[in-house]
Amino acid sequence: MTLATLSPTDTRAAIDAGARLIDIRGADEHARERIPGAMNVPLDRIGDLPRDDRPVVFHCKSGMRTAANAAQLGAATGGAPAYILGGGIDAWRQAGQPTVADRSQPLEIMRQVQITAGGLVLIGVLLGAFVTPGFFGLSAFIGAGLMFAGVTGWCGMASLLRVMPWNRRTAA
């Protein structure tokens, strides 16, 4: 099933006409920046979407997640008309539409994983080159962990970062 894609301008018109805007990103992403009035229903909980007859417009960060999961999203509406905000919140912002940004919220978990993994790989390479080659093992370990996360969908680093003190204040 494919869902029709709406531009930010068409999405604004649909919302003004009564459509619901559903943000399928994780709670951490939604807490950091969101479209005013958007309801956060993460993709892994889309089955919990309250159903009514109003049209639904789904959005994510760039439109990739919504497009890749169109069939699942369309089924979650219970037959109500469903659309995708083309380009996600990035396109919404670029079109000059308002967003609510709370920079006091922590960075999204996946960005934290990317920063941490990149830093550890860099440290491992530098220590391996300038101290002792044994430190290359750190880079190999991080690389293996990232491959495992990609294959299984479970990321130990993300799980660890989620319980860090700075991430406990993320709005639900």
Q: Catalytic positions, please?
A: 60
> What are the CB-based long-range contacts (under 8 Å, 24+) for 113-122?
113/155, 113/157, 113/158, 113/161, 116/157, 116/161, 117/142, 117/145, 117/146, 117/157
What is the CB neighbour count within 10 angstroms for residue 58? 32
Evaluated on CA atoms 120, 158, 59, 150, the torsion sign reads positive
Instruction: Record the tokens describing residue 101, joined without a space.
Output: 């940004």
Dihedral in degrees, nearest 10, Cα atoms 132, 136, 137, 138: 100
Identify whether the C-beta of residue 22 lies closer than 8 Å to the C-beta of residue 59: yes
